[in-house]
Amino acid sequence: MAVSKKAGKKAAAPAKAGAAKVAKADWKEGFKKKQVGVSDMTLLTTISNESINDNLQKRWLNAEIYTYIGGVLISVNPFRDLGIYTDEVVQKYKCKNRLEVPPHVFGIAESAYYNMNAYHENQCVIISGESGAGKTEAAKRIMQYIAAVSGGQDNSIQEIKDMVLATNPLLESFGCAKTLRNNNSSRHGKYLEIMFNAQGEPVGAQITNYLLEKGRVVGQVENERNFHIFYQFTKAASDEQREQFGLQGPESYAYTSISNCLEVQNINDTEDFVATLNAMRIIGLTANEQSEIFRMLAIILWLGNVQFEEMDDGNARIADTGVTDFIAYLMDTDPSMLQKVLTTRVVETQRGGRRGSIYDVPLNPAQATAGRDALSKAIYNNLFEWIVSRINVSMKPRDAVSHVIGILDIFGFEIFEDNSFEQLCINYVNEKLQQIFIELTLKTEQEEYVRERIKWTPIKYFNNKIVCDLIEERKPPGIFAALNDACATAHADPAAADNSFVQRTAILSSNPHFEARGAQFLVRHYAGDVTYNIAGMTDKNKDALIKDIFDLIGSSGNQFLQSIFPDRPDPSSKKRPPTAGDRIKGSAGALVDNLMKAQPSYIRTIKPNQNRSPTEYDSKAILHQIKYLGLQENIRVRRAGFAYRNTFEKMVERFYLLSPSTSYAGEYTWTGDAKSGCVQILKDTGIPKDEWQMGVTKAFIKNPETLFALETMRDRYWHNMASRIQRAWRNYWRYKNECAKRIQRFWKNNKEGLEYAKIRDYGHQILAGRKERRRFSLLGYRRFMGDYLDLNGKNALGTELRSACGIGAEEVNFSCKAQLLVSKFGRSSKPSPRFLVVTSKAVHIVISTEKDGPVHFALERKIPLITIKSVSLSNLRDDWMVFNCNASEEGDPILHCYFKTELVVQLLRLTQASINVCIGPTVEYAKKKDKKQVISFVKDETIPRDDVYKSHAVRVPSGEPPNSVSRPPPKRKPGTVRPITQGKLLRAGGPSNNTKGTSRTKPAAQPLPRKSATDATVAPPVVKAPSAPPPPVQEEPDVDRYRAKFAFEGQEGEMSFKKDDIVELVEKDDNGWWLVRKDGQEGWAPNNYLELVPRKPKGAPIAPPPPARRPPPSAPPTTTATSTFKNTTSPKPAVGNASAKPVAVFPGVVPSNSSATPWKKPAATDTANANSAGSRPGSASAAKPPSVATKPKPTPPQVATKPTLKQPGKPPIPSAPRPPVGNGSAPKAAISRPTAPAGQLDLAAALAKRAQRMADD
């Protein structure tokens, strides 16, 4: 579509080849589109019908079709596509109140959807206006917007959205038609209810149908059309359907060609038929159901081609029985029975309540034509009702329904040259909707101001209740009652019934809005005077099928045809069946009841001209619509009234968070009544006094801007609370991470040393006080490291030693340098350096030799661990040891090793302590096989260090006593302990005079108005401890007192103090926070900010003890670590409770369950109610709520299977040309139009649009 010159920008000229220059910025683009007129007509300087018309005309000519009157949307049909319903426009209106964006139907949809979620009330959108004003389009756009913004990623939710949108093309095809005033006029009314769950996601929908204009099926005035589906079906049906149903073009059927209008501008019947089939598929209609629907349409089309001839006796006969034979084939019934039903009527006489004779009365051509048309209208009307009910089955709720948004799209007010019963019903429904609008926006509002004693200037308006009573009342009888009486008294003759109704209209002449005019009568509606023709009105009111037609349908073998006629009259019943007037009155009453249960939003549509021109603006016609829609009175009431009102209780419940006087940490704390609470809230939020008034039971707010400001503050409150919680949570994690880092740092620095220390302690146990110790082996930092040569690492020495020992990747448990006592022939034995490598299997002795430069390593001896029986050591401080092995030629190795104790420990660990440790003054060893030698050990203080071996004797100086143990580890250098301040849980300390007072005392929570006391979480009252008897003057209180070293500004739940303030200790905690008392107020404080005040000596008796405090929480359970070594016991480290929460890491944050602040400890506690959760922050496991039972899903009704045809064969398709228009042709049907609805709202939610919603997290 080309961009409009008036509404868009000119197309840029194509750039010349080779001229690649950047386009110069246009300064005009920096300005917004200039607003024409006023977007809200409550701002008009002069309030009159002419000024309203001028404003609407300016905006309409500038492509601004929407205008507000407060919360009511005025829409003027543009008769062209303005491109204002795209997805980008939808996002522009999402989560916005109506003041932030220009007037639009999406703004009304957003308001209804938001109010449903925010106020938990059902909503409805009432669209009113005359035919062709754009009601159906507005309803479609509301459904489009709700489907786009209602969220939900579940497949069933998306399926419901698709079905709701698919109802538009489907019902438009079957329920809309081209009229003189509108190419897509709704010839029925519908009320669509979209059902939502608690999360605001659509879970189902339901459609209620009102007053289909079935007379259009059999006749239309010149240049109008039948329902769209007939033209779509006859033009775009498939070849298979044409063969099956004998289908031809629309020009071949009387019902579609009688008005000489087969084509409509801007309507493509072929494309629309594709959209209709797609909608059927989305709704879930099966192929068999679709085929049966088209079969019914074919039956109706062929019934219109049944023509009657007048015989000599004046009776009618069928001109072409081939047409009836084909219809009987389609209906699966007997052709002769069909012909009989169309040409005769069965009459049964009664005498004295008893059955009499039965006669077959032949019909004349006019009567036969009327019977044929009655059958066609009944089939189409019942088919339409079946489609609506089938849609409802497909869209049944998939989940629990919390709220509903209703959208009313109904025929508009109609005034034609020939107005009959259909126009009377349509205009009556419009009168009811106008009455709802008057009741809720004018009459009820002004009555409420008087009842609530609000200062108010009354506005005059026209109340159309007198017109509604004229049509629907029983006593005195109205038009519908008079019609029913006329039908009952002269039921056999339609002309006599009409004459009876003419006589009865004289009774109605006393009503100023009624005027009898012979065969006509005039009703002065709110939208104008309408003259109705009485001829045929009583017959249309009866709207009853004869018994012969029901018998014909009952004899049909087509189960679908029978299923669309479920209710058949009981011939033995004496009760008068309901008339069409009764049904439309009942439907209108039910519609009004539904609308009054919801909070309405209004869209008032205006038709700018009768020619559907996008440039013509008919001021005279629009002034008439402005007058009967009551826009001037609506503006006056809106300007003088109050946009929002609600009960004190609901007002407080909605906005109590905004005042510190009525709330504390999300809890309601106001102790006064609800009215005074409302006043306090409005004062604390800074709302001017002239913006609100207090009534008897409700609070009234004048301008919607004020309400939007309150909603914005409420949204910001939750945003700020969420930010505080997030900040505290992040602080907690910073604090936790800092603690974890310190623990990890300590553990990393000490974990290996602790393990090594355990091995060292095991060595003390092995020696058992039998051997003197070297001083260096008892050092505090001495650890049994094991692999001193680092064979388990990747150094060159380790690699060479592994290669020499041939141990591959086997783990080395111990390695060190040592000396092996080597005996020389003819000389004394002499120690020689070696390398010791101990694995889990053997002890390897490696020798290194240097030859021609490089050093070579060779395995000198490998001693399997299983061959070592014992290890011998002396009882002195020397470093010699002997491995007593099995008898071998090599003898027992004698080693000198500084790490002898550790080597023995490793050997015992690897052999599960199967090696004996022998300690004595001498050491015996096998020099060779079966040759024993003894080495003696002698104390010699002259030896400067270590020991000296010579001739089987070792001289060694004195060592540490045998019972010596390792020295304690050296103390670290003393330093200042840094407090944990990561996460800003503590404010900057140090000397400062810029401190705040003590934190605000938390008031007790109160139940919200109209709620039971158990609904609110009431904090335990602060009970002060009973005062002790006055002690002597010299006596100090028997509690520890601390002086503040620095100033501290506490958050909520913490104690604030200045430097040198004195506080009393109530409770200590190991996490660095203490519970202290100051001036009768308790709170938590960091212990590193406090120093103990020394007590003065007491000369007087001890004062009575303070009140008993609640016991501290029990210590966490401990676990015992399993010892790694034999005959040892490992210490029992304390294990933290994983389910417990850290203490005092959320200072000032209210718990999520809205309970009282847990670290506000009362001065005195009741032991019966005391628990550890009340003394400081802790973990409280909340019980899970019971699961909600799932709603059972009803199974959809089964559709009967398609029966087999009884006919022996399909008859030939009739080739009769289009019947001529004349006697016997279908009579002109009266034209009917749709109306618009109204709903009930406390004007609160209808005019209350919320402020801009804060961005999602």
Using the CB atoms, write b or e for 514-523: b if 16+ within 10 Å.
Answer: bbbeeeebeb
Annotated catalytic residue: which of 182, 209, 226, 813? Answer: 182
Nearest to 704 by CA among 714, 715, 712: 712
Residue 857 tokens read as 């390593």
**Residue 1114 appears among annotated catalytic residues:** no
Annotated catalytic residue: which of 67, 131, 394, 634? Answer: 131
The span from the CA of 659 to the CA of 678, in Å, is: 10
Annotated catalytic residue: which of 175, 189, 200, 412? Answer: 412
Task: Please answer whether residues 332 and 299 qualify as being in contact, where contact means their C-beta atoms are separated by less than 8 angstroms.
Answer: no
The span from the CA of 876 to the CA of 957, in Å, is: 8
Place of tokens 């994690």: 733
**Residue 1014 appears among annotated catalytic residues:** no
Annotated catalytic residue: which of 37, 70, 107, 132? Answer: 132
Annotated catalytic residue: which of 110, 213, 292, 414? Answer: 414
Task: Please answer whether residues 409 and 135 qualify as being in contact, where contact means their C-beta atoms are separated by less than 8 angstroms.
Answer: yes
In angstroms, the Cα distances linking 222 to 374, 661, 1219 are 21, 72, 17
Compute φ and ψ for 659, nearest 5 degrees: -115, 130
Task: Please answer whether residues 923 and 873 qualify as being in contact, where contact means their C-beta atoms are separated by less than 8 angstroms.
Answer: yes
Task: Please answer whether residues 909 and 755 qualify as being in contact, where contact means their C-beta atoms are separated by less than 8 angstroms.
Answer: no
Distance of CA 1236 to the CA centre of its chain: 32
The span from the CA of 316 to the CA of 364, in Å, is: 5
Annotated catalytic residue: which of 128, 168, 185, 533? Answer: 185
**DSSP character at residue 651:** H
Q: Which residues pair with 1020 in a beta bridge?
A: none
Distance of CA 883 to the CA centre of its chain: 79
**DSSP character at residue 1155:** -
Annotated catalytic residue: which of 136, 150, 505, 533? Answer: 136
The span from the CA of 484 to the CA of 523, in Å, is: 18
Residue 1039 tokens read as 């509690």
What 3-state DSSP class applies to 723?
helix
**Residue 136 appears among annotated catalytic residues:** yes
Per DSSP, the residues of 428-447 read HHHHHHHHHHHIIIIIHHHH
**Residue 238 appears among annotated catalytic residues:** no
**H/E run at residue 387:** helix 365-394
Residue 591 tokens read as 């519609």
- Relative to beta strand 931-939, strand 922-928 is antiparallel
Task: Please answer whether residues 48 and 83 qualify as being in contact, where contact means their C-beta atoms are separated by less than 8 angstroms.
Answer: no
The span from the CA of 451 to the CA of 512, in Å, is: 31
**Residue 131 appears among annotated catalytic residues:** yes
**Residue 186 appears among annotated catalytic residues:** yes
Nearest to 579 by CA among 482, 662, 500: 482
What 3-state DSSP class applies to 937?
strand
Residue 348 tokens read as 């049964």
The span from the CA of 610 to the CA of 182, in Å, is: 8
Annotated catalytic residue: which of 42, 75, 128, 186? Answer: 186
Residue 266 tokens read as 């801007």
Q: Which residues pair with 1042 in a beta bridge?
A: 1063, 1092
Task: Please answer whether residues 776 and 806 qualify as being in contact, where contact means their C-beta atoms are separated by less than 8 angstroms.
Answer: no
The span from the CA of 870 to the CA of 166, in Å, is: 95
Task: Please answer whether residues 178 and 353 qualify as being in contact, where contact means their C-beta atoms are separated by less than 8 angstroms.
Answer: no
The span from the CA of 918 to the CA of 100, in Å, is: 96
Residue 402 tokens read as 């919390």
Nearest to 470 by CA among 517, 526, 519, 401: 526
Query: Measured at the alpha carbon of residue 752, what is the angle toward residues 746 and 755, in degrees to the nearest 5?
Result: 115
Positions marked active-site: 131-132, 136, 182, 185-186, 412, 414
